[in-house]
């Protein structure tokens, strides 16, 4: 059972770490290339504190439209990668939770009889 948990939890952690680092790279590249737009579009873009708005902006269609207008294929590619890793992280997290909770559910149903 522990091996099964490790099979699901380890990839989940890896995907979340990749998602975090890639989203940070995307944000920094966007802020360096388009500082005025970053200031207007992303709340707390130039503050040292962390803000979820930095990540969620790139999930919105507004960021895609802006990058398509600027014809910035590099940042568009990074944005697509972030969206794919976000979906993978969500699916893996739910699968990991299901694998971890399945034995507990089985135990509860057995004790209930």
For the chain, the first-to-last Cα distance in angstroms comes to 23
User: Which candidate, 111, 55, 109, places its Cα nearest to that of 82?
Assistant: 55
pLDDT, tens digit (0-9, with 9 covering 90-100), for 13-37: 899 999 999 999 999 999 999 999 9
Q: Where are the domains of the chain?
A: 2-112
Percent of the chain at pLDDT exceeding 90: 46
DSSP one-letter code for 58: G
> Per-residue pLDDT tens for 8-19?
778 888 999 999
Residue spans of alpha helices (H) in 34-72? 35-41, 53-56, 61-69
Of 44, 77, 71, the closest CA to residue 58 belongs to 77
User: Percentage of residues in the chain with pLDDT exceeding 70?
Assistant: 96
Q: What is the mean pLDDT of residues 78-92?
A: 93
């Amino acid at each position: 059972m522990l091996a099964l948990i490790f099979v699901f939890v380890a990839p989940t952690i890896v995907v979340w770490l990749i998602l975090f680092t890639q989203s940070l790279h995307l944000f920094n590249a966007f802020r360096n290339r388009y500082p005025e737009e970053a200031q207007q579009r992303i709340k707390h873009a130039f503050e040292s504190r962390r803000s979820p708005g930095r990540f969620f902006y790139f999930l919105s269609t507004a960021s895609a439209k802006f990058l398509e207008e600027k014809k910035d294929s590099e940042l568009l590619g990074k944005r697509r990668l972030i969206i794919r890793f976000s979906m993978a992280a969500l699916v893996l997290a739910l699968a990991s939770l299901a694998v971890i909770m399945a034995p507990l559910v089985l135990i509860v149903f057995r004790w209930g009889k």
